[in-house]
Amino acid sequence: MTAASSLGTIRVVSLYDDVMNVYADRGNLLALQHRAAALGVSVEASRVSLGDALPAEADLVLIGGGQDREQRRIADELVRRGALLREWAEDDVAMLAVCGGFQLFGRWYRDAQGEEIPGIGLFDVTTVAPPPGWTRCIGDVLVQSPVGAIGEVVGFENHGGRTYLGPGARPFARVEYGFGNNGADGTEGCVYRQALGTYLHGSVLPKNLGLLDHLLEAALRHRYGPEARIEGVPDVYAARAHDAAVAVARRRAPRFEGVAR
């Protein structure tokens, strides 16, 4: 597919994608680059890991998931970068934080040993590992998001941590099938300005064009102002992948009825 006339360039920061890459969440960057090219948007991607400097500016930040061990590896440095990341969020930089990355974009994650891994407090959420004997939240997940025109999002989740929204926090989506934030209150993820947190792995972007285009457009608007927009073009492969994953989620995942033990 040839690119449309250039809509401009977005600066994308992929945080710790060599560490926080469970379920190939780095695929979100690849999907973004592919879709951007198809829509005539250029991408300047900076992969930033332990010890690397953050670029001076960004239009979109991505961080994937990781097991407790990986989260401990990045937490101290991430917290040191928290002030800048929060400043970017206040400036409407688009963000997608997945699972363990989402947890560490919250206030803290208390792991199974009761140790609190500090987060950057961008989302007003806290996460706690469940008591012994509780199941992990694992499986296909289907949610409906009221954010922009995102709508239906499908993915895969695997987390022990249960995330709870603070008083002022807004969920990214509502659970239709699967567990979501905690398997009890029907919320999934969190949204703060243009920053989105979610538990959906997959990676999530290749088969959820509504979410992908939402992030692309938000990044363009951060750089070029509120008039910037993209004209979504159909992507038959993404649509087929989405529909296939939705059918699997409806078949295999528990319809959300409440508490996951």
Catalytic positions: 99, 201
Q: Say if residues 16 and 75 touch (Cβ distance below 8 Å).
A: no
Residue type, 205: L
The site for ligand GLN (CB under 6 A) is made up of 22, 65-68, 71, 99-100, 103, 158-161
**Residue 218 or 253: which CB sits closer to ligand GLN?**
253
Q: What is the DSSP letter of 223?
A: H
**Residue 27 or 160: which CB sits closer to ligand GLN?**
160
Shortest distance in whole angstroms from residue 6 CB to ligand GLN: 35
Let me know how long the chain is: 261
Q: Say if residues 196 and 159 touch (Cβ distance below 8 Å).
A: no
**Residue 103 or 208: which CB sits closer to ligand GLN?**
103
Q: Say if residues 175 and 256 touch (Cβ distance below 8 Å).
A: yes
CA separation for the pair 107, 123 (Å, rounded): 7
Residue with smallest beta-carbon separation from ligand GLN: 65
**Residue 66 or 183: which CB sits closer to ligand GLN?**
66
Q: Say if residues 104 and 68 touch (Cβ distance below 8 Å).
A: no
Shortest distance in whole angstroms from residue 218 CB to ligand GLN: 23
